[in-house]
Structure 1
């Protein structure tokens, strides 16, 4: 069975607003390596529209400012995408499809399909997936900064997590691999 994996950048004070953190080459290399195990990217409409066409355009034109930017774009562009929407979305890229329906049933069915793991990012959709108990693993890249504002997960219930691994990236960020469960 495929796993549903949530990966995101966070500040020390829990902000996960992409405009508040630095997307350095170290971060892009880390996430590109994670995506090697991705069979599909699962996004809500807002995150999808943030990522596409930005990354596919860079992949097509190799127009990134660094090798890491271009490599992440190439990796991102090779993975299929599913967009979960409740509002209208006019169109999606060639390797994406739109899903509307019962979120829990759709994701459980998707997890049963053969292939590599399912990755998700963003805030709103992952919050719903966490509340439904569907997320199997978490990859949080914690940036050493306090921002005092911005979007947060704001879960409705406490979520105990167990640390599997932590890695300090060259830029000082700490990458945490966590699974649901009681730590310690």
Structure 2
């Protein structure tokens, strides 16, 4: 069974608004490697619309920033994007499939298939996947910033019981960012 990985950027005060952090070459390199380990991405509408067409466009027309361009190529190389949305009607590409329901069932099917890892990001869909007990690894990139406002990670989660995680790896970057990798116990 392949694993489902949740990757997210947060500030020191837990803000997960993508405009509040300060991504740099080290952060992009970390998430580039994560993308290279995946062949399926699972998103909700909001995260999907942040990522597509932005990253595929950069893959086609490089930005000049090597770290962003490498991430864009890795993102664009992922073979399948699955979006769960009740409002999105049209996908931006032939490798995207939209589902309006059946999150648990569809993700379980994906996990049963042969292949590399499944990566999810954003907040709403990962929160639901956590509540369903389907996430196997958590990759949390902490930015050395206190946002002071914005949506907080895990604010809206409702777990039937406390989720126990084990630290499987950590890395402190020169920039002060810290990558934490947790696995379910």
For the residue of structure 1 that corresponds to 2:19, the secondary structure is: helix
Q: How does 1:88-103 map to 2 (within 5 A)?
A: 88-103=88-103
Other-structure match for 1:9: 9
Distance 1:129 1:171 in 2: 31
Number of residue pairs the alignment of both structures matches: 180
Two-structure CA RMSD over aligned residues (Å): 1.2
Instruction: State the distance in 1 between where 2:20 and 2:77 align.
Output: 27
Runs (4+) off by over 3 Å: none
Contact 2:170 2:178 (8 Å CA) reproduced: yes
In the other structure, the counterpart of 2:168 is 164
Corresponding residue number in structure 2 for 1:176: 180
**Helix, strand or coil: the match of 1:19?**
coil
Task: Report how far residue 145 of structure 1 moved.
Answer: 1.7
- Distance, in Å, in 2 between the alignment partners of 1:115 and 1:34 is 14
Deviations along 1:80-109, whole A, 9 cap, x unmatched? 211111223223312211123321111111
Please name the residue that 1:75 is paired with: 74
TM-score by length of 1: 0.93
How far residue 12 of structure 1 moved from its aligned partner, in angstroms, is 1.3
Provide the residue aligned with 2:130 in structure 1: 130
The two structures have a TM-score, normalised by structure 2, of 0.93
In structure 2, distance between residues paired with 1:159 and 1:50: 29
Q: For structure 1, list consecutive stretches of 5 or more residues without a partner in the other structure.
A: none
Q: Summarize deviations over 1:38-80 as a string: whole Å, max 9, x none.
A: 0111110110001000000000011x13111111100000102
Matches within 5 A, 1:134-145: 134-145=134-145
